[in-house]
């Protein structure tokens, strides 16, 4: 009996530790002075869903040779990564201390993910918002990495299809209307309106680093209408 109790306690502790770590990762940076909420929400949701360093694989060989989960290959130079880091305007002040030694690694992957989004758009284009039938217009690529980076930082893109820019999929391949009937507790959830997008963790949404309950009423200066869940 005592051994069984210790095993249960250990398993519970392990689950709690993983949960706390996922939340620390979700809090490791926040949207700063830029219009890149969809990118921030996507990167955070992917980190929580897959692990901060398992969104994609990469090899360092002078450049960063990235393999996205859908088979897309991207090459990011060190200069491009540096430019993405500076352009992202991620706010990292005082909110990720619980990550300890993982702090720099988590931020590295966040910046590399941001660079991948810009690189994808510069090489393959992006998608507009979904229509009533669920279809979306594919928009031509934005020539040159720096221009694509400026686009995702200052203008952004429709959240409906943001997941494609990191080679990911969403559950049941559909956008879900948010009605508040059930809590949003699935890992990898992105909640959004026409004006803003946020990551959700255990029915709490990230409002520029302040976490607050998800609601059908105005919260974080928005009434959120839809959500997607990474597969």
Contact 111, 150 (CB under 8 A): no
Give the model's pLDDT for residue 15: 36
The residue among 53, 28, 36, 172 whose CA lies nearest residue 109 is 53
| Average pLDDT over all residues of the chain | 90
Contact 91, 24 (CB under 8 A): no
First to last CA, the chain: 39
How confident is the model over 7-45, as pLDDT tens digits? 433 333 333 345 558 888 888 899 999 999 999 999 999
Q: Containing H/E element for 165?
A: none
State the Rg of the chain over Cα.
18
Contact 153, 115 (CB under 8 A): no
Give the model's pLDDT for residue 92: 86
Q: Where are the beta strands (DSSP E) in the chain?
A: 57-61, 63-67, 73-76, 126-127, 138-139, 176-177, 189-192, 197-201, 204-207, 210-213, 226-229
How confident is the model over 92-106, as pLDDT tens digits? 886 556 677 788 899
Decide if pLDDT at 59 tops 90: yes
What's this model's pTM, rounded to 2 decimal places? 0.90
Beta-carbon contacts of 166 under 8 Å, excluding residues fewer than 6 positions away, are: 42, 43, 46, 55, 56, 68, 69, 113, 116, 117, 120
Decide if pLDDT at 153 tops 50: yes
Give the model's pLDDT for residue 103: 80
CA angle 135, 201, 199 (to 5 degrees): 45
Alpha-carbon dihedral 96, 101, 103, 106, rounded to 10 degrees: -130
Q: Are strands 189-192 and 197-201 parallel, antiparallel or unpaired?
A: antiparallel
Give the model's pLDDT for residue 9: 35
Tokens of 150: 């400026």
CA distances from residue 62 to 52, 65, 77, 101, 105 in whole angstroms, order as listed: 22, 9, 7, 25, 18
Contact 94, 143 (CB under 8 A): no
């Amino acid at each position: 009996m005592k051994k069984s109790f210790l095993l249960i306690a250990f398993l519970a502790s392990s689950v709690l530790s993983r949960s706390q770590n996922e939340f620390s990762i979700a809090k490791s940076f926040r949207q700063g002075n830029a219009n890149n909420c969809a990118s921030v929400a996507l990167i955070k949701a992917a980190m929580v869903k897959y692990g901060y360093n398992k969104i994609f694989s990469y090899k360092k060989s002078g450049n960063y040779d990235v393999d996205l989960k859908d088979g897309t290959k991207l090459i990011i130079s060190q200069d491009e990564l540096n430019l993405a880091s500076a352009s992202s305007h991620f706010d990292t002040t005082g909110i990720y201390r619980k990550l300890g030694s993982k702090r720099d690694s988590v931020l590295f992957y966040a910046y590399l993910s941001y660079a991948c989004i810009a690189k994808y758009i510069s090489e393959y284009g992006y998608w507009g918002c979904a229509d009533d039938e669920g279809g979306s217009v594919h928009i031509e690529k934005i020539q040159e990495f720096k221009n694509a980076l400026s686009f995702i930082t200052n203008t952004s893109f429709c959240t409906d299809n943001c997941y494609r820019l990191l080679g990911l999929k969403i559950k049941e391949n559909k956008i879900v209307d948010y009605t508040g009937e059930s809590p949003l507790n699935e890992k990898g959830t992105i909640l959004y309106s026409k004006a803003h997008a946020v990551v959700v963790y255990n029915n709490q949404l990230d409002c520029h680093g302040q976490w607050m309950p998800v609601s059908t009423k105005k919260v974080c200066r928005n009434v959120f209408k839809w959500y997607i869940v990474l597969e």
